[in-house]
Amino acid sequence: MSRILQEIEAKIESIKTISPAQIYVGVVQEIGDGVAQIEGLSKAVLNEMLEFPRGEVGLALNLEETSVGAIILGDYTSIREGDEVRCTGKLLQIPVGLALLGRVVNALGIPIDGKGPIPTKDFYPLERNAPGIIQRQPVTQSLQTGIISIDAMTPIGRGQRQLIIGDRSTGKTTIALDTILNQAVINHAGTHNPNFRPVYSIYVAIGQKSASIARVVSILESRDALRYTVVVCASASESATVQYIAPFAGMSMGEWFMENGRDALVVFDDLSKHAVAYRQISLLLKRPSGREAYPGDVFYLHSRLLERSARLNIGVGNGSLTALPIIETQAGDVSSYIPTNVISITDGQIYLETELFYQGVRPAISVGLSVSRVGSAAQVKAMKQVAGKIRGDLAQFRELAAFAQFGSDLDAKTRLQLNRGQRIVELFKQRQHSLLSLHHQIIFLWAAKNGFLDALGIDQVREYSTRLIEFMDSRKSALVEKISKTQQAIDDVLEEELKHALEEFAKLFL
């Protein structure tokens, strides 16, 4: 009998008591256009994931006195009025890590490229606090785009936020894509250098055509750049909800690299469509509309997104996250609501002019309206030395060209400035995906600054630049190596060597 009692007691002790759990449950009051109004979820928190009966997931965005407004992630057609909704107590999380490189994913980080699941154990919440001032350090490292007009006049530093702005079809995506491709070129070149830090890229497509996104992916694949890149896709055919969360997902993926002591670049293509998606969601949630029907917190939407890019100090990993947001203007109007908002958040802008684009000046960068408030501090000293005067020459040329069309009598100095300006404009024309390394850019700019292009016809400048690269790489490789390795300004000895090399090439070319 005692043995039976002992067995019963042992079994009773082995039974685990289930502690009671609190589950907050609400009821769908209204559903439509991807937005649900839910009654009874008084304990829901902002951005909390909500669980619907057939597995759908919602995100709590409006916390009102008697109801919660939630956006549905994915298909909402099976949700009905009266359905039970549960709080999960979790924030929406996105997979992050090196395993995402080379993959095309949707806004939730789920792969859509048919290459199987992504093996990652790391997850970051969709929205996170931006690094504080104490955690940051000044931007002192350059991020080369491979586009001579940008690297010379509106340089970008690692950890900077540089806006690309312009009308439709003026080459905004091309500039961002070339920057990603150039990081891949530099990463390939630095593979054998133990101190080299590669830059990983995240391209976030918001509201773009699926065909355009597929074209970007195919270019990245053909240039072997996809293995350093994550593509986050929220195409025009997706719901406003998906387009709204996509840039936050891309930023979380980039933050993983930054916080693990790496350098990352995130491109948002484009935030105009993101603002439109947010406006659509806000109007459906019955939020009061403000200027241009956008909600009053649309500025906060973009500022809390872009403030997350930074260059961290050594104490917190020494990583960086550079942001390149893109904004599309209507008929060149930079004074409308969304452009002015994002201009005020970023550290400079690259403004693309439609007129220049149609004149064949590509990339169609406006010298007067484009500015970098940080990047010049990150420029290599040799680049700063040769590029400083070029920007001034080009700005003067724009003024003189407008003035010169009204009169024919020009003095010799004015004619020289006009001629030099025309040749610099021609030198800055660059075919898409035709990237220039930093040392080649320095050679070109030094040649322009010291008058080596003045004797050329305008139609000869492109051929001159092509043949000069071939000449320097084949016959003056030691000099090119010196320029590529120097972190200091070009000294008198190097200047003399450059001068002799360019004089020798001039005799061959002319």
- CATH assignment of the domain containing 353: 3.40.50.300
* pLDDT greater than 70 at residue 19: no
* pLDDT greater than 80 at residue 16: no
Q: For 325-334, what is the mean pLDDT?
A: 95
Whether residue 406 sits in one domain with residue 297: no
* pLDDT greater than 90 at residue 389: no
Q: For 442-463, what is the mean pLDDT?
A: 91
Which of 322, 344, 379 finishes a domain?
379
Asked whether residue 29 is domain-assigned, the answer is: yes
Whether residue 168 sits in one domain with residue 313: yes
pLDDT the model gives residue 164: 98
* pLDDT greater than 80 at residue 17: no
Which pairing describes strands 57-63 and 48-51: parallel, antiparallel, or unpaired? antiparallel
Whether residue 87 sits in one domain with residue 101: no
Q: How many Å apart are CA 123 and CA 411, to the nearest integer?
A: 66
Phi, psi of 178 (to 5 degrees): -60, -35
- Percentages helix, strand, coil for the chain, rounded to the nearest 5? 45, 20, 35
pLDDT the model gives residue 412: 80
pLDDT the model gives residue 5: 77
Whether residue 470 sits in one domain with residue 356: no
* pLDDT greater than 90 at residue 367: no
The band of 355, judged by pLDDT with boundaries at 50, 70 and 90, is very high
- Specify the CATH number for the domain of residue 37: 2.40.30.20
DSSP 142: B
Across the chain, what does the average pLDDT equal?
A: 91
When divided into structural domains, the chain yields a total of 3
Catalytic residues: 373
Asked whether residue 74 is domain-assigned, the answer is: yes
Whether residue 493 sits in one domain with residue 438: yes
Whether residue 99 sits in one domain with residue 48: no
pLDDT the model gives residue 159: 96
Q: Are 336 and 342 in contact (CB under 8 A)?
A: no
Q: For 269-294, what is the mean pLDDT?
A: 94
Whether residue 393 sits in one domain with residue 346: no
Q: Tokens 């469509």 — which residue? A: 273
Asked whether residue 1 is domain-assigned, the answer is: no
Q: Are 347 and 162 in contact (CB under 8 A)?
A: yes
pLDDT the model gives residue 18: 57
pLDDT tens-digit map of 95-108: 999 999 999 999 99
pLDDT tens-digit map of 262-276: 999 999 998 999 999
Q: How many CB atoms lie within 10 A of CB 290?
A: 15
pLDDT tens-digit map of 292-307: 999 999 999 999 999 9
What residue numbers bound the domain in which 55 lies? 25-91
Which of 343, 362, 379 finishes a domain?
379
pLDDT the model gives residue 328: 97
Which of 320, 344, 379 finishes a domain?
379
Asked whether residue 436 is domain-assigned, the answer is: yes
Whether residue 74 sits in one domain with residue 100: no
Q: For residue 167, count CB atoms less than 10 angstroms from its CB and return exposed for 0-12, middle for 13-18, buried for 19 or more.
A: middle
Asked whether residue 12 is domain-assigned, the answer is: no
Whether residue 262 sits in one domain with residue 226: yes
The band of 125, judged by pLDDT with boundaries at 50, 70 and 90, is very high
Token digits of residue 193: 């250098």
Whether residue 122 sits in one domain with residue 152: yes
Whether residue 45 sits in one domain with residue 100: no
Whether residue 388 sits in one domain with residue 375: no
Asked whether residue 479 is domain-assigned, the answer is: yes
Q: For 136-150, what is the mean pLDDT?
A: 94
DSSP H helical segments within 87-133, as ranges? none
The band of 407, judged by pLDDT with boundaries at 50, 70 and 90, is low
Cα-atom radius of gyration of the chain, to the nearest Å?
Answer: 28
Q: How many Å apart are CA 58 and CA 52, to the nearest integer?
A: 8
Give the E-state strand segments of 159-315 in sequence order: 163-166, 199-206, 229-234, 263-269
Q: For 212-240, what is the mean pLDDT?
A: 96
pLDDT the model gives residue 1: 63
* Peptide linkage before 363 cis (omega within 30 of 0): yes
Least confident of 86-90, 113-117, 452-456, 483-487: 483-487
- Specify the CATH number for the domain of residue 405: 1.20.150.20
Asked whether residue 201 is domain-assigned, the answer is: yes
